[in-house]
Chains A and B, each alone.
Chain A
Amino acid sequence: MAEIAEQGGGGSKDGKVRSKKMSTKVDFTAMVDLAFLLITFFMLTTTLAKPNIMPIVMPEKKDLKKEDLEETKESQVLTLMLGANDKVYYYEGITDAKLDSTDYSAEGVRKVILGKKDRVKAQWGEDEKDDPKNPGQKKIYSKLSVVIKPTKESRYKNLVDTFDEMKICNVARYVMLPISKVEEDFIKNPAAGLKFSAEDQAAAASGAK
């Protein structure tokens, strides 16, 4: 590829020495190699996509007044307990609660939430409230309340996946609360049933620390 001027052949037949004519072509190969090397380097070191964020709002820790709280029916509540090894334990309501477990796939926890949502809709109907994003318009909200209780053995991915499911299933009311001793025992021994004492229920009603 490279043009190399021939040496020694410059003399013409009659013996006169003429000045050599330089080729006007420059070999760009090495330069292109270098340029692409640098491009590759910069492409790999740049952070191209900005990461996404998921906004979370936690309930305030101060003692809530009774009028600030909204009551919810037992049959409208689904409690998800995030367990070890990517398992979700869940039960509905409080009285005679049955423990069941599933995983985080679309066929797993999403079906549970959507199934409960349909049953709540069939029994209680839906709320129609003002849409905060479009003033003047109404939006339909499900009456379902989901309580998310991660255990110590769960990992961060489980929590994010669960919040994600809330968004996918369009659950308007959900809250993350610390798990209670009673519920940890319930996971270990589902046959014994969920037995909240009167004090536990009072604590839960006053904002659940």
Chain B
Amino acid sequence: MPKHKPKRSSPSLDMTAMCDVAFLLLTFFILTAKAKPQETVTVDTPSSISEAKLPEVGTLTILVSKEGNVYLDPAGAPARRALIATMNTQYNMGLSTAEQNKFVNMGSFGAPSGDFKRMLSAEGPERAKMSTGIPIDTVDINKSELASWLHQARLAQFNYKKEAISEGKNPDEVKEYAIVVKADKDTPFSAIEKVINTLTDINLNKFNLITSQEGDPNKSE
């Protein structure tokens, strides 16, 4: 009777297929990845049942940190370039062209106009320390730096949109700014109130609050 020997399998595996899959996934993630722009402050947004999505283009984000500091993040390089040029002359910030280019490529920003030049020349944690938020004057809207940043940003985007459309660009790709408020769930209401008052003072009565998704109790039943 022949002895029945168990088949011994070789310990080396064929990795070719696994390698293929791994690289396929890698390619997918590289192509879909969008570098996260460095945020000046980390914000943990509250959740809501709202299902509307953030528009892809043309958002003007107002960040409100846990401490109540206000930062801005207008999207789109052309509008940012025009914005910093106007604000530079309006507040006599004395920014060089290189510093203005730095502004165009950075994420959210927020510093009083007097500290803006120093904030731009600082790097990394030093810059985060200088970013103390955009000052708001709740009494006189004409003195409020937040109001003029918002106004000039919208104007810059509006001009860019007009120009781009006259050059034959698709109107769906260039839009006027949608105002988006992104605040931390622990931000005190007094800080939010200042931002909302500024917005309504300059006749921006429609805006959006960024939230994360939460289940709708009416639908789950």
Q: Helix, strand, loop or mixed for chain A's interface?
A: mixed
Residue in contact with A55 in the complex, picked from B32, B190, B208, CB distance below 8 Å: B208
Residue in contact with B34 in the complex, picked from A46, A150, A163, CB distance below 8 Å: A46
Known A-B contacts A27-B15, A28-B15, A156-B183; the reply to A56 vs B206 at CB < 8 A is: yes
A59 to chain B, nearest CB (A): 7
A164 contacts which chain B residues (CB < 8 A)? 48-50, 214
B202 to chain A, nearest CB (A): 10
Question: Does chain B have a CB within 8 A of A18?
Answer: no
> Which chain A residues numbered 152 to 172 have a C-beta less than 8 Å away from chain B?
152-161, 163-164, 167-168
Residue of A nearest to B64 (CB): A156
Cβ of B46 and Cβ of A53 under 8 Å apart? no
Quick one: which of B18, B203, B212 has the most chain A CB within 10 A? B18
Cβ of B26 and Cβ of A38 under 8 Å apart? yes
What interface size band does chain B fall in? 35 or more
A150 contacts which chain B residues (CB < 8 A)? 189, 193
Residue in contact with A52 in the complex, picked from B29, B188, B211, CB distance below 8 Å: B211
Residue in contact with A39 in the complex, picked from B22, B183, B187, CB distance below 8 Å: B22
Binds A, one of B51-59, B92-100, B146-154, B156-164: B51-59
- Bound form: Cα–Cα A155–B13 in Å: 57
B125 to chain A, nearest CB (A): 20
- Bound form: Cα–Cα A161–B218 in Å: 15
Known A-B contacts A46-B29, A82-B189, A156-B185; the reply to A52 vs B50 at CB < 8 A is: yes
Residue in contact with B205 in the complex, picked from A2, A57, A154, A155, CB distance below 8 Å: A57
Question: Does chain B have a CB within 8 A of A3?
Answer: yes
B217 contacts which chain A residues (CB < 8 A)? 106, 168
Q: Which 4 A-B pairs have the closest CB atoms?
A: A28-B15, A35-B22, A42-B29, A157-B185
